[in-house]
């Protein structure tokens, strides 16, 4: 379980930065992929001609004869550059150097056989496939051998399967389904499958760039259903399935009378896959085979509560009754949890069951050496806890450097705080805005790098892990994180590592929160009394019940999971024993309860996913002297213009 928690943390926090290169641009300089409809193709070549490897121009064909062409910035996992659709073939082009250098290459001398399948409406289409390496390009020519192929279905879904020693069958997929743009204007996917792990990367059409790769490894998942009744309750989750599995099992174990009438099943997918499910909700398909409940991560929640998706979810008042706000107050659910789960009408449509507020997590041994004490109150004074300022934090960073320590592993630790303390979002009334906290972060990052206060390691990457687990070249005093990060990063006593028990938690200089999982219910359950009855019991047990048999009490006391987890209910955390051996017996719950009372969500908006990655990337360049502050701001202005925001 502890190893699994580390995997969860890694999966949720990968923030790899990529440089992006445009293949084609529109009039404004946008790097959006180009989709062009060409002239009607001439009579196609005979199939046998494709088996004669000629020069690259002949092999690549005449692009002007293509029915449709997609072009992309090539800096993605596979080096994908373009896909050309003809009446009887598909040409897919990859950059050889990028592909060979990839951690998950799909090309090269080891490739033995290729097979391309198109799956329009899940029906496979037969192809003969050829592979060539010419002029620094890998070229896959897929020639149709199915006379019944419908040209209109060409761009639905393409999978490339290949044999590669020693790992056996691997695959690459490219999805071009236009309906997939419904959720977040994402349409095109590119991933490679290697040794059982899938790494998926999405091209975002709005800002014209590839997003950071995500691991979608799903090995060793538990069974996906509980109960044997004829009424099935589906849960769609964007969180790791083990958490959903524990939730389902414990609920049915406490309610055995429901097993004969109901069964619960879940399907857990990475965030990148949820667009298709939400498209089905919009089209009304949920009423027959969709999920009854949804668990959505905080990074995406505003799209479900503040935008068009909110109309497809039931309010907690409709499910639980008019006294739901009273129950929320009695359970002492923090305001930020309620605010993030409320729609534009102020109605609660989702609640988080975790406490995801942050703290400063520091090394006791270093605190004793530098301050003479490892008492949290002493460290809080040193970092300026509750001041809303970085002044004392920087002063202590200078002291740490003089003692031979880094204050934090890298800049990513600091942006976790800055991002969730903003008061004004990126866009206000159609105009671009740079909040004061983000502006302060620009100067903070420059000072941290210029003065060597960090080890300059990227958040959640290998060197960052070495730092927080006492394996780096220069020891690190601390880092910012939630209680779940305590479990995922340091609550690991395998081999009795040196850092186990040498950490403590204290209030941060600024209150912040990170991630979390909000539980929604589909609106269609209101039309089905049986499903509504079940979902009402389940939702209340997960989010509002504070008894010793509740889900949150089980999480907080360690009876559901092996580890103890901070929960949303302050009432539960105030009575549960949260002491942790990895913190030398400290109970951090009171710190997280206190932090939850001063959270702000006013700076959250649907544009965060576009601006944050660009902002972090450009600030990092500025901090290292690669660009000026004016150039940094110009990148943000250009992005704002692409998004239709006035600068």
Per the model's pLDDT, the better-predicted residue between 271 and 259 turns out to be 259
Q: How do residues 316-338 score in pLDDT, each as one tens digit?
A: 999 999 999 999 999 999 999 99
Distance (Å, whole) CA 293 – CA 537: 12
- In this model, does residue 66 exceed pLDDT 60? yes
Instruction: Give me the pLDDT at residue 103, please.
Output: 52
- 3-state secondary structure (DSSP) of residue 601: coil
In angstroms, rounded to a whole number, what is the distance separating the alpha carbons of residues 590 and 568? 12
pLDDT of residue 1: 34
The whole-number average pLDDT for the span 77-98 is 75
pLDDT digits (tens, 9 = 90+) for 122-134: 444 455 556 667 7
**How many whole angstroms separate alpha carbon 372 and alpha carbon 124?**
69
For residues 75 and 84, give the distance between their C-alpha atoms in angstroms, rounded to a whole number: 18
Please report, to the nearest 10 degrees, the dihedral formed by the alpha carbons of residues 490, 495, 496, 500 taken in order.
Answer: -10
Cα distances from 361 to residues 23, 76, 385, 390, in angstroms, run: 44, 35, 12, 16
Q: Are 627 and 618 in contact (CB under 8 A)?
A: yes
The three-state secondary structure class of 539 is: helix
d(CA 264, CA 235): 7
State the alpha helices, DSSP H only, in 451-558. 462-468, 483-485, 529-543, 551-557
For 268-295, the pLDDT digits (tens) are 654 333 444 554 454 444 434 567 898 8
Looking at the predicted structure, is the pLDDT value of residue 158 above 70?
A: no
Partners of 89 in the beta sheet?
Answer: 143
Helices 376-383 and 391-402: crossing angle in degrees, nearest 10, is: 110
In this model, does residue 504 exceed pLDDT 50?
A: yes
Asked if the model's pLDDT at residue 60 lies above 60, the reply is no
pLDDT in the model for residue 72:
74
Angle between helices 629-642 and 608-623 (to 10 degrees): 160
Cα gap 279→283, rounded to integer Å: 6
Measure CA of the first residue to CA of the last residue in the chain; give whole Å: 48
Q: Which residues contact 499 (CB under 8 A, 6 or more apart)?
A: 363, 468, 469, 470, 490
Query: Of 207 and 255, which is predicted with more confidence?
Result: 255
Task: Supply the pLDDT for residue 149.
Answer: 52
Q: How far apart are CA 617 and CA 639, in angstroms?
A: 13
Task: pLDDT band for 508, please (50, 70, 90 cuts).
Answer: very high
- For 513-596, where are the alpha helices, taking DSSP H only? 529-543, 551-557, 570-575, 589-596
Write the Ramachandran bin of 173: left for phi over 0, alpha for psi from -120 to 50, otherwise beta.
Answer: beta
Helical ranges in 130-230 per DSSP H? 181-184
Q: Identify the band that residue 146 occupies on the pLDDT scale cut at 50, 70 and 90.
A: low
Per-residue pLDDT reduced to its tens digit, 407-417: 999 999 999 99
To the nearest whole percent, how much of the chain has pLDDT over 70? Answer: 66
Nearest to 269 by CA among 246, 302, 247, 291: 291
53-67, 133-147, 311-325, 590-604: range with lowest mean pLDDT: 53-67
Q: Which residues pair with 517 in a beta bridge?
A: 297
Q: Residues near 376 by Cβ (< 8 Å), separated by ≥ 6?
A: 504, 505, 506, 507, 586, 591
pLDDT higher than 60, residue 39: no
476 in Cβ contact with 455 (< 8 Å)? yes
Residue 51: burial class (beta carbons within 10 Å; 0-12, 13-18, 19+): exposed
DSSP-assigned letter for residue 222: P
Instruction: Pick the range with the lowest mean pLDDT from 35-49, 51-65, 203-217, 478-492.
Output: 35-49
Confidence of residue 7 (pLDDT cuts 50, 70, 90): very low
State the Cα–Cα distance between residues 258 and 224, nearest whole angstrom. 17
pLDDT tens for 544-602 read: 999 999 999 999 998 887 789 999 999 999 999 999 988 999 999 999 998 888 888 88
Query: What pLDDT was estimated at residue 636?
Result: 96
3-state helix, strand, coil in the chain (%, to 5): 40, 20, 40
Output the pTM of the full model. Answer: 0.70
State the Cα angle at 118 between 113 and 121, rounded to 5°: 150
- State the pLDDT at residue 197: 39
> What is the reported pLDDT for 52?
38
Please return the burial class of 195, using the count of CB atoms within 10 Å of its CB with bins 0-12, 13-18 and 19+.
exposed
Alpha-carbon distance of 234 to 605, in angstroms, equals 29
Task: Calculate the average pLDDT of the chain.
Answer: 74
Maximum average pLDDT range among 135-144, 391-400, 464-473, 476-485: 391-400
**Cis amide linkage into residue 178, ω under 30° from 0:** no
Distance from C-alpha of 15 to C-alpha of 411, rounded to nearest angstrom? 12
- Per the DSSP assignment, residues forming a β-bridge with 360 are 480, 506
**If pLDDT is split at 50, 70 and 90, which confidence band does 610 have?**
confident
């Amino acid at each position: 379980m502890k190893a699994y928690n580390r995997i969860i943390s890694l999966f949720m926090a990968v923030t790899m930065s990529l440089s992006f290169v445009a293949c084609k641009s529109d009039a404004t300089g946008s790097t959006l992929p180009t989709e062009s409809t060409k002239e009607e193709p001439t009579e196609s070549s005979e199939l046998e001609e494709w088996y004669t490897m000629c020069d690259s121009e002949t092999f690549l064909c005449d692009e002007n004869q293509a029915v449709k062409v997609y072009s992309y910035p090539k800096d993605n996992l596979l080096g994908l550059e373009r896909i050309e659709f003809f009446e009887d073939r598909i040409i897919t082009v990859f950059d050889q150097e990028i592909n060979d250098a990839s951690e998950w290459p799909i090309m090269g001398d080891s490739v033995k056989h290729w097979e391309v399948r198109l799956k329009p409406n899940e029906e496979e289409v037969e192809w003969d496939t050829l592979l060539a390496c010419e002029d620094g390009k890998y070229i896959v020519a897929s020639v149709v051998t199915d006379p019944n192929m419908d040209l209109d279905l060409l761009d639905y879904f393409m999978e490339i399967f290949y044999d590669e020693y020693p790992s056996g069958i691997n695959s690459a997929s490219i999805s071009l389904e236009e309906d997939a743009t419904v959720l977040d204007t994402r349409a095109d996917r590119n991933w490679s499958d290697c040794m059982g792990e899938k790494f998926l990367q999405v091209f975002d059409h709005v800002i014209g760039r590839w997003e950071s790769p995500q691991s979608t490894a799903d090995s060793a998942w538990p069974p996906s259903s509980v109960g044997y009744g004829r009424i099935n309750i589906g849960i769609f989750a964007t969180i790791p399935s083990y958490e959903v599995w524990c939730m389902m099992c414990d609920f049915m174990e406490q309610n055995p009378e429901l097993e004969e009438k109901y069964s619960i099943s879940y399907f857990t997918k990475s965030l990148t896959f949820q667009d298709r499910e939400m498209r089905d909700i919009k089209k009304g398909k949920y009423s027959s085979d969709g999920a009854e409940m949804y668990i959505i991560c905080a990074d995406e929640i505003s799209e479900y509560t503040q935008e068009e998706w909110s109309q497809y979810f039931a309010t907690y008042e409709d499910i639980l009754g008019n006294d739901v706000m009273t129950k929320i107050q009695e359970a002492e659910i923090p305001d930020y949890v309620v605010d993030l789960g409320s729609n534009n009408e102020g109605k609660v449509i989702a609640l988080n069951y975790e406490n995801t507020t942050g703290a400063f997590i520091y090394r006791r041994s270093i605190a004793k050496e530098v301050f003479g004490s490892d008492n949290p109150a002493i460290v809080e004074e040193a970092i300026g806890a509750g001041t809303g300022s970085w002044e004392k934090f920087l002063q202590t960073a200078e002291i740490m450097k003089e003692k031979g320590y880094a204050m934090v592993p890298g800049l990513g630790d600091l942006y976790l705080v800055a991002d969730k303390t903003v008061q004004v979002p990126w866009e206000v009334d159609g105009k671009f805005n740079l909040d004061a906290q983000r502006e302060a972060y620009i100067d903070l990052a420059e000072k941290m790098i210029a003065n060597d206060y960090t080890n300059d390691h990227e958040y959640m990457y290998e060197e960052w892990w070495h730092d927080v687990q006492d394996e780096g070249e220069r020891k690190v005093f601390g880092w910012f994180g939630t209680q779940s990060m305590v479990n995922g990063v340091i609550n690991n006593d395998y081999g009795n590592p040196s850092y186990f028990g040498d950490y403590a938690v204290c209030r941060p200089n600024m209150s912040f929160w990170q991630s979390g999982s909000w539980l929604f219910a589909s609106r269609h359950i209101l039309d089905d009394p049986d499903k509504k009855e079940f979902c009402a019991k389940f939702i209340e047990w997960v989010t509002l019940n504070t008894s010793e048999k509740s889900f949150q009490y089980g999480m907080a006391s360690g009876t559901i999971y092996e580890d103890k987890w901070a929960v949303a209910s302050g009432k539960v955390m105030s009575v549960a024993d949260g002491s942790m051996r990895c913190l030398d017996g400290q109970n951090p719950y009171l710190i997280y309860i206190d932090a939850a009372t001063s959270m702000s969500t006013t700076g959250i908006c649907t544009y965060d996913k576009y601006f944050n990655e660009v902002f972090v990337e450009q600030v990092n360049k500025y901090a290292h002297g690669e660009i000026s502050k004016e150039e940094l701001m110009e990148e943000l202005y250009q992005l704002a213009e692409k998004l239709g925001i006035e600068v």
